[in-house]
C-alpha cells in the first residue's frame, strides 16, 4: 500500500490508546507456555505478538516466524528445551540474513542439539529438543539483549536453573532488567549482580493469576515526534495516551527525558501520559544522545531532528544493522532523499542541522521495516510525502494510521 501524507499545518488535541508492549508480551507468552497458570492482560495486538503466540501452540515440525526477530531468538531457546520434539525454525528472506550464531553457540554449550539448514550461523535452524543439564553459560555483554533474555526465559525450566556470565560492557540493560522483573512477577527467584545473572528453577506454581502488560513505549515515540514538530507551527495541542506508568520496565521510557531536549513535556495523570510543548522553549542547534540502551527509537529521534532543523549525533547503534533492515543505511538513504546531510558508521549517526525546507513529495522506502514507516510519518507536519508499503506498521502497531487520523493527519491511499 502506497500512502500519501498531505502537508498539514495544524492538529487537534486527542486521546489515543496504545495496546500492550510487544517486548513484554513476547516474554510473557513464552513464560506462559513454559509455566501455565496465569493470564496475560492487555497483550500486544501486533503481528509479532500473533506470530509468537501461534508458534507456541503449534504442533507442526516447521515453524515460520516471517519477519519477527524477537520470536526467532526466543523460540530458538524455547524449542531447545522441548524434549522429544524436532522443530525446523525458519523465517522470511531477511530473517535468513540475520545472525543467530551467538545464541546457538550458547545453547550448544549447554548441551542443545541445533544444526543449520542452509548457511552456517543463520536461520533456518533445526532443533532437536532435549533436557538440558548444564546450568552455566558465558556470553559477551555487548550483544543483543534478546540473546540474553532468551536464555533467561528458559532458565527457570531447567532442573538446576541457570547462571549467565556476561563478559565486557553490558548494553541494552533495560531489556535485561525487564526480563528479570517479569520473572519476579510470576514467582521466579532471580538476581543480576555485577556481570552475573542467576535464575533459580521454578518448581512450584506461578505466584500470580494474571500479569497486566504496560502499553508500548516504542509506539508512543512517534507521538513525541509529532508534538516536537508542532513547534514549526507554534501549535499548543496536548495528546493524551494510555496506558502507562512512571516506573516502567521498558527501556524506551527514556523518551520522557530525551525529548525534553526537543521541547516536549511529559506529565502523568493516573495511567495516562500527556504530551505537550514546553512554553518558551528554544531549540538547540544540535544534540548528542547515547542510545545503547534504547536503539529502537533512533529512527524517530533522527527524523524529528531533521524536521526541526536540529543536528544530532546518535551513538550506541551497533545493533541496528541486524534489525528488519540495516536501519542506519536505510535512514541515510531516505533522509538524503529529503535533502538532509547525514553520515553513518557501524554504530553512529550524524545529522547536520537542516537549513532549508525538506524536499516535498518524496516517496519513503520502508524496507519491510515498521519503524521506518512510522518514524517518517510525522514529517507531514513539514512537507508532503509518500510512505511505501504503509501496511508494514502491523508488525508492531496495527492501529497507527487510524490513530494519526484522529489527530488530523490527512491520508490518501494511492495503491
Active-site amino acid positions: 296
- Among left, alpha and beta (phi > 0; psi -120 to 50; other), residue 390 is alpha
Residue 7: left if φ>0, alpha if ψ -120 to 50, beta else—which one?
Answer: beta
Cβ 257 vs Cβ 217: under 8 Å: no
CB 89 within 8 A of CB 63: yes
Q: What residues contact 252, with CB distance under 8 A and at least 6 apart? A: 217, 218, 220, 221, 294, 296, 297
DSSP letter for each residue of 227-250: HHHGGGGT----EEEES--TT-S-
Write down how long the chain is: 415
**Alpha carbon of 80 to those of 34, 97, 158, 296: distances in Å?**
12, 21, 11, 28
CB 364 within 8 A of CB 358: no
Amino acid at each position: 500500500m502506497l500512502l500519501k501524507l498531505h502537508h498539514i499545518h495544524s492538529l487537534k488535541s486527542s486521546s489515543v490508546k496504545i495496546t500492550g508492549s510487544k517486548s513484554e508480551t513476547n516474554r510473557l507468552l513464552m513464560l506462559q507456555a513454559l509455566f501455565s497458570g496465569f493470564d496475560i492482560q492487555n497483550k500486544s495486538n501486533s503481528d509479532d505478538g500473533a506470530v509468537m503466540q501461534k508458534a507456541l501452540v503449534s504442533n507442526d515440525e516447521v515453524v515460520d516466524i516471517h519477519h519477527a526477530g524477537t520470536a526467532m531468538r526466543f523460540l530458538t531457546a524455547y524449542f531447545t528445551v522441548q524434549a522429544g520434539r524436532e522443530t525446523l525454525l525458519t523465517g522470511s528472506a531477511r530473517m535468513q540474513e540475520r545472525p543467530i550464531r551467538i545464541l546457538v553457540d550458547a545453547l550448544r554449550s549447554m548441551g542443545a542439539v541445533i544444526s543449520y539448514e542452509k548457511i552456517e550461523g543463520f536461520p533456518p535452524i533445526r532443533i532437536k529438543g532435549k533436557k538440558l543439564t548444564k546450568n552455566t553459560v558465558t556470553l559477551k555483554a555487548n550483544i543483543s539483549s534478546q540473546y540474553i533474555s532468551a536464555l533467561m526465559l528458559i532458565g527457570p525450566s531447567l532442573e538446576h536453573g541457570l547462571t549467565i556470565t556476561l563478559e565486557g560492557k553490558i548494553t541494552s540493560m533495560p531489556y535485561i532488567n525487564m526480563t528479570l522483573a517479569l520473572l519476579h512477577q510470576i514467582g521466579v527467584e532471580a538476581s543480576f549482580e555485577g556481570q552475573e545473572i542467576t535464575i533459580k528453577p521454578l518448581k512450584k506454581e506461578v505466584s500470580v493469576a494474571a500479569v497486566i502488560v504496560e502499553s508500548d513505549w516504542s509506539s508512543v515515540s512517534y507521538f513525541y515526534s509529532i508534538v516536537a514538530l508542532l513547534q514549526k507551527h507554534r501549535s499548543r495541542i496536548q495528546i493524551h495516551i494510555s496506558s502507562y506508568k512512571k516506573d516502567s520496565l521498558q527501556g524506551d521510557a527514556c523518551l520522557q527525558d530525551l525529548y525534553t531536549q526537543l521541547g516536549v513535556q511529559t506529565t502523568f495523570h493516573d495511567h495516562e501520559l500527556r504530551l505537550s510543548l514546553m512554553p518558551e522553549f528554544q531549540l538547540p542547534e544540535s544534540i548528542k544522545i547515547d542510545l545503547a540502551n534504547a536503539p529502537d527509537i533512533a529512527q524517530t529521534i533522527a527524523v524529528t531532528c531533521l524536521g526541526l532543523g536540529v543536528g544530532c549525533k546518535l551513538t550506541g547503534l551497533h545493533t541496528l544493522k541486524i534489525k528488519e533492515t540495516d536501519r542506519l543505511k536505510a535512514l541515510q538513504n531516505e533522509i538524503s532523499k529529503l535533502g538532509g546531510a547525514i553520515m553513518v558508521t557501524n554504530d553512529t549517526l550524524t545529522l547536520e542541522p537542516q537549513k532549508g525546507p525538506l524536499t516535498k513529495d518524496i516517496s519513503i522506502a520502508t524496507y519491510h521495516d515498521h519503524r521506518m514507516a512510522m518514524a517518517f510519518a510525522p514529517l507531514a507536519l513539514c512537507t508532503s510525502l509518500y510512505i511505501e508499503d504503509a501496511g508494514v506498521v502491523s508488525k508492531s502497531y496495527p492501529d497507527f494510521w487510524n490513530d494519526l487520523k484522529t489527530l488530523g493527519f490527512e491520508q490518501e491511499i494511492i495503491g
